[in-house]
Structure 1
Amino acid sequence: MEGNKFKHSLHFVLFFTLLLFSLLSSTIIAADDDSAAMAMLLETIVTTPSNWSKNSFYCQWQGVMCDTNSSRVTAIFLKSNNLTSLPPKFPSLPNLDTLDLSVNSLSGSLPSLANLTSLKNLYLEHNNFNNIPQSFFTDLATTLQLLTLSDNPFPSWTIPTQLTRFPSFQVFFCDKANLTGQIPEIFHSFPLETLSLAQNNLFGPLPNSFRSSTIQKMSLHSQMLSGPIEVLSTMNLIGVQIYGNNFTGPIPDFSNSKSLIELRLDDNSLTGVVPSISLASLSSLRTVNLTGNKLQGPFPISLQENSLITADFDSNNFCTNSGNSCDPQVTSLLEIAAGFGYPLELSDAWTGNDACRNWRFIICDSKNNRSIIGIDFQKNNFGGTISPAFANLSELQYIYLNGNNLTGPIPDSLTKLAQLKHLDVSNNNLSGNIQQFNPSVTLNISGNPLLLTGKHDSIVTKISTLIADDDDSAAMAMLLETIVPTPNWSKNSSYCQWQGVICDSNSNRVTGIFLKSNNLTFLPPKFPSLPNLDTLDLSGNSLSGSLPSLANLTSLRDLFLEPDFDSNNFCTNSGNSCDPQVKSLLEIAAGFGYPLELSDAWTGNDACRNWRFVKCDSKNSIISIDFRMQHFGGTISPAFANLSELQYVYLNVNNLTGPIPDSLTKLAQLKLLDVSNNNLSGNIPQFNPSVTLNISGNPLLLTGKHGPETMEANKFKLSLKFVLFFILLLFSLLSTTIIAADDDSAAMAMLLETIVPTPSNWEEEQNWGRPFEQKQYRGGGL
């Protein structure tokens, strides 16, 4: 008996030992390989990849890479496998560093990858994903180095700031992914080398964080990005593709980019002189495309003739096409424009190589029409500094820089202008000492509190001291000095005998000035006091710039300023109708009250031929209108809707009033409408959800679909929400009751009714249990 007890005890010990070993083995296996996780992927990935089978070792499956020692999965490559479905959450694969699911037909939400704790490279481009869960980026492992999301139809979204979670992040591809908004200031936070965000809906400037970034390859083309590109000069770039945007200002110095191979700046609004010498010194450079900008100065012949470089420079505003230097006056004007940062207005207004051939802002000597005697830049919102190059224009008599945002000093060189009569720099932000000008110069420096008058207090301000005397001799002498070209007027005769001047016979006060069709190009910015003047006729001339102030003409009754028909900006000279796109733009301009800027910028009958504020596609259809920060008043015209291919409309930061027209909702291609910071009012029309709409800064706009809702409507909504909640609660209780039956027939019947589309071979008549057990349901058996 004792022997039997011993045998039973021994059997029990052996059984317990085997059981414990079995459990330990299972635990070890579960911890030491990825068989369970890969089995789960085998069951849930649709279509099952080729040769993935329970009958073979997962490290032998197509696209699966394993560590040879541990059999841990380190990479899964399933590119172009016709995949249509993934598990919503990937199983734990602790050693997986690369997952490539690109170029498939995957749709729905991006899967949760929180269990891939060593993930470095993630390829998801060229699929049909249409949702990004809020936790997607925060769930990704902080080891991430590469992410590709290009070519997915996501809803409109912004660049996630959660990218700063990845301290080793190096490559980000997110082209054609419906990104919108501005590029955030995050790119100094990680060692990014490649940034590709092309063909999205991004707008605004390049971020300052690019300055301290490690980006070498950049693709941001075909969007609505704007502003200067000077930040690129601080980077060490290999390739730059920022074509097809609205960038402005000059091309920066790329000498820091010693390994630059490709430079694509085409189809923007860049201005200034091409830095040919700097670019030609880059021995690695192979492609330069500057086509379709507003570049000035001489044609960059040194780049064109370099056999190692493929160069394109068509459709710019070069002074010559031969590579020869510009005319000396043109060169000086371009240096002056450089001080202002090469404003776009100057490139549009200055074409050719003769500054005296109808160049806007420029007045030339009427005798030989060769020497520049006046420059009128008043009230153009120009920033930057006053260039010493003004002194190169030796015949210059009148300089108007008032009403801008200029900074820095008044250059000493301007005191060397022997012919200078008038310099107006009032109402800027100038600083420094005021130089000693000739006493004959009328100098206006008011509105510059940082200017130091010092020992040069004896500044002559003739305009302000022209006091109404007993006659008009002082005022008419001032007009004689400032009207260009001078009419048939002379200091040696009485002003009442001057051509076109009518005086009262008793008082010798001027009552009328008739200077119609005198080829006048320039007036004083403010007329002197002529208290009896009742008629002023300046019609039929070539006057430009701002209308003069006539506040001192206190008796003025009749004012004639209209031009001759020969000096206008008609779209055609034949009387034929304007091009339909031009006609629509003129209707839009009518809503703003026909601003002068638009008449000057829109000449001819082709809106896609370098018209300012307008951008066209390759088929010459207008796709963008950018009127932001132009101080336009008036209303938004319904005529925008006539431009059927319009995608981007920027009207922000103006003084527009009235409603947003309903007709704009009919623009089928519209992607972005920005009307922020105006004075709009009324209801907001119902735009397509795909349209990015910015209405901030319009407190009178009513945000409801059709204005404020009535109290009765709100009560009805609340009642409806309560009823829906009750129905859902009841449905949930019934569903729970159905599922908790003796078998799963009721529950599966419920799934049969609700899953769309119904899976293959799910039928009410068949036996539910056995097919489920045999995994005849597609994806069954989990």
Structure 2
Amino acid sequence: MKNHLPFFFWCIAFPFVIAEAVSSVANNEVSALLSIKASLIDPLDHLKDWKVSTYKGDVGAVHCNWTGVWCNSNGVVEKLDLSSRNLSGLVSDALQQLHSLTFLNLCCNGFSSPLPKSISKLTHLKSFDVSQNYFVGEFPSGLGRMEELTYINGSSNNFSGFLPKDLGNVTTLETLDFRGSFFEGPIPTSYKNLLNLKYLGLAGNNLTGYIPRELGQISSLETIILGYNGFKGGIPTEFGDLSNLQYLDLALGNLGGQIPVELGRLKKLNTIFLYQNSFEGKIPPELGNITSLVLLDLSDNQLSGEIPVELAELKSLQLLNLMRNNLTGQVPSGLGGLTQLEVLELWNNSLSGPLPVNLGQNSPLQWLDVSSNSLSGEIPAGLCNGGNLIKLILFNNVISGSIPLNLSRCESLVRVRMQNNLISGTVPPGFGKLAKLQRLELANNNLTGEIPHDISLSTSLSFIDFSQNRLHSALPSSIFSIPTLQNFLVSYNNLIGEISDQFQDCPSLAVLDLSTNSISGRIPASIVSCEKLVTLNLRNNNFTGEIPRAISMMSTLAILDLSNNSLTGALPESFGNSPALESLNVSYNKLEGQVPSNGILTTINPGDLIGNAGLCGGVLPPCSRSSGRTMSRERKLHINHVIAGWLVGISIILSIVIAVIGGRWCTRGGTQMAVVL
């Protein structure tokens, strides 16, 4: 019986011992948390409840209710989440006293200090997130001893030095994210041991060397993001063994060589981003085997050859970007049958032939840019069948035919850029009614007919360019009153008629180019109401009358070209005092008088004044003595004619007066003689 007494007393005492131990731990953790708070800068006072009550006994588990603190069933801190609280200052070494901590999140704050090395003593950590701060210095070593760690996120900081090699020992790790810092050197080959790793993000650093082919051994990898670094070499062929890989981003990684055909074995891959590298050779037809592929971007490389027809087998493809390469041949007609395609960018290659006739007909096409190639044929009629087309960019090709009528009814359009082609026919009506359309560029084509009148109804257009066509009409009334219009260019057409006095409301107009047309009449004085006008080009037209003096004092006007018209009168002296004017050309008009000698007119190129026989002085040859009195031969003749007219008029009036007086005298004399008789 006596032998059982110690055990009996132990059973009674054990709960009290445990309670005492828990209370001691709690006291230590409260002290640690208060030390952590003391080292922080908390301008919004998020941690105002981190304080000990006035109770004199043990604090117990009072800290388990503090902001960002979670405890387990024993009242011991196991989770500390201080993310997104606008904190800064220092991360205290007291953190290591939270021995049972499994979750630490300091994300999205303003820390700009080094991380304490003592973090490595938190051996029970499973999740560690310090992303989106400004932490500096080397990333703490020692985390490789953590046997339960599954998540490390140190992205978007200012860490420097080498990537920690010892992390290769954390075989439980599933996520390793160090994107967006200043790590340098190679990727440690020890990372091949991370056989449970699913996410590897090292993009946006200063990493160099070859991408380790050993990474191809991590069959669990689902996401690889290594771009925006300074690697050498190419993509390891061993990446073809990553059977679970879904996302591959090596963009802007300084990589070269050929794209491995082995990537075609990755049946789960949905994203390939290899843009802005130096890959060369042909696009592997084997990529057509990746039927799960949704996004494929190989732009800004040195790829050559034709676009593989096998890419038409990618039935889930939403984005295909092959722009800025050296691709030749035709656009595979099968691409028009991709029913999920939203973005097709092929610009700046050497592609030829027509676009797929059914492109966009059965897909939610939003963005088509095939500019700067040698494409021919007609514009596919069904581009906007899905009602999703936002940007249509076809410029610098040899595309012909007319503009499909349904394009001018495509409510989703924001940009239409089809300049520098061989497009003919008329501009279809309707573009002015598209509520989202901002740019309409049809310059340098073979368009005829008139500018549609509904263009002036637009409430969204900011850029209109119809220049270098064969349009023949007057300008639509109130076209300059489009509230968003900034640039209106219609030079080198056959436009006729006068500009109506329609400038009372042009709040945004900055560039107006009506040059090389047959527009006549006077320059409307109301143009001065365009308070943001920077460039006004009216050269090579049939404008008459005087230059409105108010134009010379427009506060933003920097470039004014009125050359090759039939303008008369004197050059406004106020041009010399214009607040913004940098370039003025009034050559080849019928201006007369002395050129003012002030402001820009003292340094103007005489060539910008020639062709006005009546102009003299200033930067031109001085006015002659006779021209000093009459300013010009024409003006002298005009004045002589006026004087002669006055003399003739006065002579006639005097003759009449003399005749009347003489008649009265004769009548009076005759009457007197009759009385005498």
Q: TM-score range by the shorter chain?
A: 0.3 to 0.5
TM-score, structure 1 normalization: 0.36
Q: Could you say which structure has the larger radius of gyration? A: 2
